[in-house]
Chain A
Amino acid sequence: MQQHEYAKDFTLAELMICAASEVFANDGEVLATGIGVLPRLAASLSMKTTNLDLMMTDSEAWLLSEPNPVSGRKAGDAQANETWMGFSRIFDNVWSGQRHALVGPSQVDRFGQANISALGGSYEKPKVQMLGVRGFPGNSISHANSFFVPSHNKRAFIDGECDVVSSIGFNPSRLPKGYKLSDIDIRRAITDLCVMDWGGKNFQPRVVSLHPGVSFDEVQDNTGFELVMSENCQVTAHPTLQQLEIIARLDPANIRARQLKDNPPGIRA
């Protein structure tokens, strides 16, 4: 098998994992945190391919030399602990800036601000209470962040600002004293339609690659704010056979197939 031969048959979930793994490729020795099955697979894949220096935890309290598979493990199975990394030490890492989080917010706005706290109503009485701001404020002011959005639509990529701005973005009206917009490090958004970044003029959101069979107009129609197309916008790279093999090893029970509704194919019919 040619290791870098592109696969012809792959799922959308696998395409998104591979696209998301690229966000860590040039990070060097940082802690990669992928929240959820597909983001965690993306970070693990990068640690096995594009960035061997990456650090990952067991999602509990230990830093691992080898990423744990996301499925097929039993309690008490051996794992490659290299140091204790409980939550208090995670914050030491966060505030040193040596981390890149790949998170799944409920809302993202044109500034790259994100929300996992609450939706609608008033702040005193939200219509839908969600998790709370969690670590989003600290993550976003301290280190690199990317977003994983499995359903690209106007409820996720909203018109106007997030209902509760949980993480700082490229919003001039909220920029703290002494900061430049370029101090904010929002990297990419990986969705089921495309890959975006905020690399347009004045940090305007733009599409950097379209998934196979997806048009720019379709992305724009499902986004609540104006997008531009990157000058060298391409079709999102298909997974290689090597990537698919590593993903299969990291997820032997194939729980990645249950993460997107109906587990659609990577190349649209």
Chain B
Amino acid sequence: MNKLTTAQNAISVIQDGMTIGIGGWGPRRKPMALIRELLRSPVKDLTVVSYGGADVGMLCAAGKVKKLVFAFTSLDFIPLEPWFRKARQNGEVDVFEIDEGMMLHGLRAAAWGVPFIPTAVGLGTDVVRHNPDLKIIDSPYDDKEWVAMPALKLDVSLIHTTTADTRGVCQIKSPDHYMDDWFARAAKHTIVSCDELIDTSVLHQGDESRFVFWDRAATQAVVHIPGGAHPSSSAPLYGFDVEHFKRYAQSAADDDFAGYLAAFAIDKDEPSYQDAVGGLSAIQQLPMPVY
């Protein structure tokens, strides 16, 4: 089955009011080209589930988020994501704020087809006070109470990987695949953008198949976009773009998201965007962060 398509085609499955999951973590391996395609679409009222960075910030800035399911939203070196912060402080988005691990439980529950997973996480905190829909239940096996973390059922997931073949076998060569495997499984429809399109025979060499973290049945569409994670990183190919993120943060300080979109031709198309940020070669030369 050939799942290769364009970003525009892939994104067209997303409808108003859907719940979308976004892979990656903070400023790392985010499917930003797919996010930019979403910014160009008329879609609105999304519920977004993400270990978020600028993906969440940009969708908030564009007014596309009705509800955000989150544990944090951060660009790491800029700890507080500026457009997310603005949206929250203006009371513009509904939120379901949960612990990072609760989000993993919710994705697993959705992937496994169970309504919830019991956990102690959240007990005694404002997570259970601020989310009245989050149920606390008794255990049939002990005398403690437990949080019933509901399944986070996703209509669509957006994920960026290092490579993929046209059948949707995806490799992640970054040191961490984060929760991307669970985002892929929790969604009815998973769209993957990849830096490199590979022939299936590459997977048969050496230990290449060890970099595949879910089977192809969990991937429905493949989009080949070299540099498609920019301005987030796609280790080991390129680091995140510190200067670009600063410019993006400045747009929040200036309250001018339209200016940011125009300055980098995001309102136009992806090739124009890549030209505006210095071209693919500039993206591929961005250094890896050192921790």
Contact = CB atoms under 8 A, between A and B. Distances in A.
Chain A at the B interface: SS class: loop
Chain B at the A interface: SS class: loop
B90 interface: yes
A182 to B, nearest CB: 14
A132 B104 CA distance: 16
A138 interface: yes
Contacts of A73: 290
A59 B73 CA distance: 18
Contacts of A129: 80, 84-85, 88-89
A195 to B, nearest CB: 25
B145 A168 contact: no
B120 A142 contact: yes
B114 interface: no
A178 B99 CA distance: 21
Interface stretch (A120-128, A146-154, A214-222): A120-128
B126 interface: yes
B-side interface size class: 35 or more
B88 A91 contact: no
A141 B121 contact: yes
Interface in B90-116: 90-91, 97-102, 104
Interface string A154-193: 0000000000111111010011111100001000000000
**Which of A68, A132, A184 has the largest number of chain B CB atoms within 10 A?**
A132
Interface string B156-172: 00000000000000000
A94 to B, nearest CB: 7
A117 interface: yes
A141 B125 CA distance: 10
Contact of B289 (A75, A141, A142): A75
Contacts of B288: 75-76
Nearest to B287: A75
A142 B178 contact: no
A63 to B, nearest CB: 12
22 contacts: A60-B176, A61-B176, A87-B25, A87-B176, A88-B104, A91-B104, A95-B121, A118-B88, A126-B89, A127-B89, A128-B89, A129-B84, A132-B97, A134-B99, A135-B99, A136-B125, A164-B126, A168-B125, A178-B143, A179-B123, A179-B124, A184-B124
